[in-house]
């Protein structure tokens, strides 16, 4: 696991506190377009780094963490297109930035990349203390370190190129499971996963991959047959990020 933690010492009291830094690719305010929070004004924090390797990934620019791609926070914030550039922020820098930008949404979505490669607890803790709700979106392939209150969306990425198995701990922590589907095989993979892992009273969403017609039809049919829910990436239909 990448911890992203730096220890600093305060000379007067010799007190050690841990300051987390996060590698951020994008930070923006929009409407959540997927799952239970669809329609909710949200501040998205997109972290850099993901080794999972989904072939249809629509954020491939977040995969690699190259030191050459590190830019200043100002440069990251003024990007006009998706790039591999990222900037390093402390927890408090992120919070101050959200305030400075005048964002009005009170829901934080931490996504990636694969955000669970780092401990998200300090980040979620600070926002929750300040009255925000928090949500993370993860592939279920890394241990989830976050607050108890944080809403966890597991989108299990099964048998992807990176070879990471789905963790039982991730499945049992999930508040919702959102599964991308395009073929019957994807549906069968989800059913096997649900049979294998203990899942609490968790909402199951199917999300058609890339808004393809056949994938959407399959998702609708399967949702009705299993009493699952449909998630259609509303943001892509209305042309927002």
Kindly list the residues in this chain that would bind ligand SF4 in the complex (CB under 6 A): 50, 52-54, 57, 59, 62, 112-114, 139, 157
Beta carbon of residue 14, minimum distance to ligand SF4 (angstroms, whole number): 41
**Cβ closer to ligand SF4: 57 or 203?**
57
Beta carbon of residue 110, minimum distance to ligand SF4 (angstroms, whole number): 13
Residue 168 main-chain phi, psi, to 5 deg: -55, -40
Residue in 190, 214, 183, 186 with CA at minimum distance from that of residue 204: 190
Beta bridge partners of 21: 90
Q: How far apart are the first and last CA of the chain?
A: 29
**Cβ closer to ligand SF4: 50 or 177?**
50
Beta carbon of residue 129, minimum distance to ligand SF4 (angstroms, whole number): 28
Query: Taking the mean position of all CA atoms in its chain, how far away is CA 56?
Result: 16
Decide the pairing of beta strands 41-47 and 5-10: unpaired
**Cβ closer to ligand SF4: 4 or 113?**
113
Beta carbon of residue 98, minimum distance to ligand SF4 (angstroms, whole number): 22
Beta bridge partners of 45: 27, 110
**Cβ closer to ligand SF4: 95 or 137?**
137
């Amino acid at each position: 696991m990448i911890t992203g933690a730096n220890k600093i010492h305060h000379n007067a009291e010799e007190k050690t506190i841990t300051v987390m830094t996060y590698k951020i690719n994008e930070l923006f305010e929009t409407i959540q377009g997927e799952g239970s929070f669809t329609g909710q004004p949200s501040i998205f924090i997109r972290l850099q780094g993901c080794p999972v390797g989904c072939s249809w990934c629509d954020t491939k620019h977040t995969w690699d963490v190259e030191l050459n791609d590190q830019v200043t926070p100002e440069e990251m914030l003024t990007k006009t297109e998706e790039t591999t550039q990222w900037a390093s922020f402390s927890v408090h820098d992120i919070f101050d930035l959200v305030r400075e930008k005048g964002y009005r949404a009170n829901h934080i979505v931490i996504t990636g990349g694969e955000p669970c490669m780092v401990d998200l607890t300090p980040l979620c803790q600070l926002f929750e203390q300040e009255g925000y709700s928090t949500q993370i979106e993860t592939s279920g392939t890394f241990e989830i370190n976050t607050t108890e209150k944080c809403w966890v969306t597991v989108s299990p990425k099964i048998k992807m190129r990176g070879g990471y198995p789905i963790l039982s701990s991730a499945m049992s922590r999930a508040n919702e499971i959102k599964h991308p589907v395009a073929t019957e095989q994807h549906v069968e993979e989800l059913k096997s996963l649900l049979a294998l892992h203990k899942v609490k009273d968790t909402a199951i969403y199917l999300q058609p991959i890339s808004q393809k017609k056949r994938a959407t039809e399959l998702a609708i049919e399967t949702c009705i047959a299993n009493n699952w829910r449909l998630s259609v990436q509303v943001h892509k239909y209305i042309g927002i990020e």
